[in-house]
């Protein structure tokens, strides 16, 4: 996918439904040419609001449907705008479940105008089943107590800090937002179940011995809807290093009222145990908290307490940076 | 799928490639009208070898492509025969990865003659993500140290024994052979990864409190290629009872030379731990060994030793039957 991006926010009502766009804008401001909103849209990236023609004039190459709605559907109300974008000269990319390529008017317009449609949620390469065989290069995986606790943010912060220190490192995207940020990747929750670990082996191939792949985790071993994805990802990643991600004080697991998130120590032990199947030398190297709902003093207390309990550096990737975790990683 | 079945064995070279057919013939002899082999075929079910016209005259309704080859492809050499079968009046069903419905000449013939093509490996109903919510009815799941250790055989033997005793029980198929036997089911390794546990929740819906769903397991938590499937299946099944399946003395995990199968106790502990996420009351109720490669005295020693070590009834579903495990199940 070619950058810069123009963001299509449609008529979504809140920031959460546009979290894909917000994530890209946070991590890759240099990719962001502007935003396009339909009447009634309830979110903004605070980018220039521009039309398709103007976006092309400013150099934008791809319209990102940066939306995460229930069911992953492309609203019929959006289609005329997407067709207009293609006619104006933009490629279109979406991470939704429903495919851009399955909308006849849009596909026709893309063929006519020589533009491309990217459905990043759907793997386009043939996958293999995982082998479990150890491959050269080093790998770090972020895992979590729950879905949406900040695994992608932690991974991208680690990439930034490691590159700043001159460490040879690559962010490996496993979800739609990550793929828009990296420009490539595989949505592991969208592959056929037989190929989960194989997809991750393909995503993070053999590399030079000192190179670090920083692999974005998905779901949680403790989430009854998605733990299979998380386990296959863990086995395919063969991580040398695990970073544990948590959002403190969640009242329940995402989407499952009444189901409490696991204790961090329990999460740590279960992930280390499971990871040993494909990498017996796996090590925990840190904890990344999302402390946006805590006061600064609550966050500080939590990190000190957890550091004492687990003997691991604790950070908030956004508020404090991930330096102490990278210190630990480079020792490995 | 309508029975009786005619088996299409094509030109496969060995029994292993026709294990789907052998499994159906073993468990449902009453479904089996005959077999159809191409020149050079190296396996037989020892059923009458008959042509398509004769099969229809004898009452056969569906031609089963009961083959499990590498890659799951439909050989071009088979297609003329499959078309002939449709022309003769048979439906065709396959559990291969490649779809019957994607072969134009076959689809045209089916449309013209009003016959149906079943691609049982591919789910045809819209799936949901799992909820993890407990549902009424009782459930037993077979799990294993490895792939292909006898989970389906154990599950079907349990169904037979429980029905003989008048227990209200249903076999729930999660792989292609099981689906041909049950006439319905979902290939869980073929669903999109996000939906593994949800597919199993759908496969085994709420039922009356005394009813037992007997769910066929897949893969192993210790197989690095497929453990994600096994974990999602375990969480979706919410088993009250687990039966552990093993083939003693396997030199290595299936397809992975050099990787030893886990110890049975290790396998038991890991499955019980993981199953507790969606059913804290899960219990181990027995061990099913596949002892076909042992002498009778070796098999007897193994079972006595394992019963002492684990405190669980040990059986071989084919050689000894599963009575002692059912004794334990009906106590629950």
* B93 and B201 inside one domain: no
The rounded Cα B290 to chain-centroid distance in angstroms is: 15
Mean pLDDT of B76-104: 97
* A75 and A155 inside one domain: no
Domain membership of residue A309 (yes or no) is yes
Chain A contact set for B198 (CB, 8 A): 225
Mean pLDDT of A215-241: 98
In degrees, rounded to 5, the angle at the alpha carbon of residue A174 between the alpha carbons of residues A168 and A176 is 120
* B113 and B149 inside one domain: no
For B22, half-sphere exposure in the C-beta direction (CA atoms, 13 angstrom radius) is 11
Strand-pairing partners, residue A246, are: A289
Chain A contact set for B148 (CB, 8 A): none
- Does B42 score more than 90 pLDDT? yes
Domain membership of residue A262 (yes or no) is yes
Q: Tell me what pLDDT residue A264 has.
A: 97
Domain membership of residue B44 (yes or no) is yes
Q: How many CB atoms lie under 10 A from the CB of residue B203? A: 21
- Which residue range(s) make up the domain with A92? 5-119
DSSP A50-107: --HHHHHHTT--EEEE----GGG---GGGHHHHHHHHHHT-EEEE-SSS-GGG-HHHH
SS (H, E, C) B149-172: CCHHHHHHHHHHHHHHCCCCEEEE
The CATH number that applies at residue B254 is: 3.40.50.300
Q: Tell me what pLDDT residue B72 has.
A: 86
* A166 and A93 inside one domain: no
* B94 and B206 inside one domain: no
- By CA distance, what is B235's nearest residue in A? A224
Mean pLDDT of A128-138: 96
pTM over 0.90: yes
The CATH number that applies at residue B83 is: 3.40.50.720
* A29 and A154 inside one domain: no
- Does A246 score more than 90 pLDDT? yes
Query: Domain total for chain B?
Result: 2
Residue B232 to residue A228, Cβ atoms within 8 A:
yes
Chain A contact set for B222 (CB, 8 A): 277
* A113 and A160 inside one domain: no
Domain membership of residue B129 (yes or no) is no
Domain membership of residue B164 (yes or no) is yes
- Does A143 score more than 80 pLDDT? yes
Percent of chain A exceeding pLDDT 70 equals 100
Chain A contact set for B193 (CB, 8 A): 188-193, 196, 228-229, 232
E strand segments, chain B: 5-10, 32-37, 62-65, 91-94, 117-119, 138-144, 169-172, 212-215, 241-246, 283-289, 314-315
Which tens digit of pLDDT belongs to each residue from A264-303? 999 999 999 999 999 999 999 999 999 999 999 999 999 9
SS3 A34: strand
Let me know if A235 is exposed, middle or buried by CB neighbors in 10 A (0-12, 13-18, 19+).
Answer: buried
Which tens digit of pLDDT belongs to each residue from B255-294? 999 999 999 999 999 999 999 999 999 999 999 999 999 9
* B100 and B161 inside one domain: no
SS3 B64: strand
Domain membership of residue A275 (yes or no) is yes
Which tens digit of pLDDT belongs to each residue from B218-237? 999 999 999 999 999 999 99
What does the block give as tokens for B299? 């098999």
Q: How confident is the model at residue B71 (pLDDT cuts 50, 70, 90)?
A: confident
Residue A300 is inside which H or E element, if any? Answer: helix A296-310
Domain membership of residue B239 (yes or no) is yes
- Does A125 score more than 90 pLDDT? no
Let me know if B321 is exposed, middle or buried by CB neighbors in 10 A (0-12, 13-18, 19+).
Answer: middle
Q: How confident is the model at residue B197 (pLDDT cuts 50, 70, 90)?
A: very high
* B153 and B267 inside one domain: yes
> B64, B91, B119 — which closes off a domain?
B119
Residue A130 to residue B225, Cβ atoms within 8 A:
yes
Provide Rg for chain A, Cα atoms: 20
* A151 and A79 inside one domain: no
Distance CA B189, CA B27 (A): 22
Q: How confident is the model at residue B68 (pLDDT cuts 50, 70, 90)?
A: confident
- By CA distance, what is A258's nearest residue in B? B133
> At CB < 8 Å, which residues of chain B contact A?
129-132, 188-194, 196-198, 221-222, 224-233, 235-236, 256, 259, 270, 273-274, 277-278
Q: How many CB atoms lie under 10 A from the CB of residue B211? A: 15
Q: Phi then psi for A233, rounded to 5 degrees?
A: -65, -45
| Nearest-CA distance B27 → chain A (Å) | 26
Distance CA A278, CA A259 (A): 30
> B65, B87, B119 — which closes off a domain?
B119
* B284 and B143 inside one domain: yes
Q: Tell me what pLDDT residue A123 has.
A: 87
Q: How far, CA to CA in Å, does A302 sit from each of A248, A286, A288, B116, B327?
A: 9, 14, 11, 62, 51
Domain membership of residue A214 (yes or no) is yes
> A119, A146, A178 — which closes off a domain?
A119
DSSP state of A317: T
Percent of chain B exceeding pLDDT 90 equals 95
* B277 and B244 inside one domain: yes
């Amino acid at each position: 996918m070619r950058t810069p991006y123009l963001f299509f926010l449609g008529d979504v009502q809140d920031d959460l439904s546009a979290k894909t766009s917000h994530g890209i804008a946070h991590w890759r401001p240099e990719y962001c040419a502007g935003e396009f909103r339909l009447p009634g849209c309830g979110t903004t990236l605070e980018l220039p609001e521009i039309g398709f023609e103007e976006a092309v004039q400013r150099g934008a190459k791809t319209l990102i449907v940066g939306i995460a709605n229930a069911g992953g559907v492309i609203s019929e109300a959006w289609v005329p705008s997407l067709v207009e974008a293609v006619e104006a000269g933009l490629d279109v990319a979406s991470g939704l479940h429903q495919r851009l390529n399955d909308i006849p008017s849009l596909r026709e317009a893309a063929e006519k105008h020589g533009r491309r449609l990217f459905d990043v949620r759907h793997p386009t390469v043939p996958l293999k089943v995982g082998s479990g065989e150890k491959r050269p290069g080093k790998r770090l995986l972020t895992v979590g107590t729950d879905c949406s606790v900040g695994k992608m943010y932690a991974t991208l912060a680690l990439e930034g800090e490691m590159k700043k220190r001159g460490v040879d490192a690559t962010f490996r995207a496993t979800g739609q937002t990550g793929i828009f940020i990296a420009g490539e990747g595989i949505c592991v929750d969208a592959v056929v179940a037989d190929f989960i670990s194989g997809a991750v082996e393909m995503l993070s191939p053999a590399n030079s011995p000192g190179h670090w792949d920083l692999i974005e985790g998905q779901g949680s071993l403790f989430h009854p809807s998605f733990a299979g994805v998380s386990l296959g990802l863990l086995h395919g990643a063969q991580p040398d290093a695990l970073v544990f991600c948590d959002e403190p004080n969640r009242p329940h697991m995402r989407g499952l009222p009444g189901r409490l998130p696991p204790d961090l120590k329990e999460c740590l032990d279960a992930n280390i145990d499971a990871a040993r199947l494909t990498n017996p030398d796996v090590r925990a190297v840190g904890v990344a908290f999302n402390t946006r709902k805590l006061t600064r003093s609550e966050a500080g207390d939590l990190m000190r307490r957890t550091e004492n309990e687990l003997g691991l550096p604790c950070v908030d990737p956004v508020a404090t940076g991930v330096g102490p975790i990278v210190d630990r990683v480079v020792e490995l």
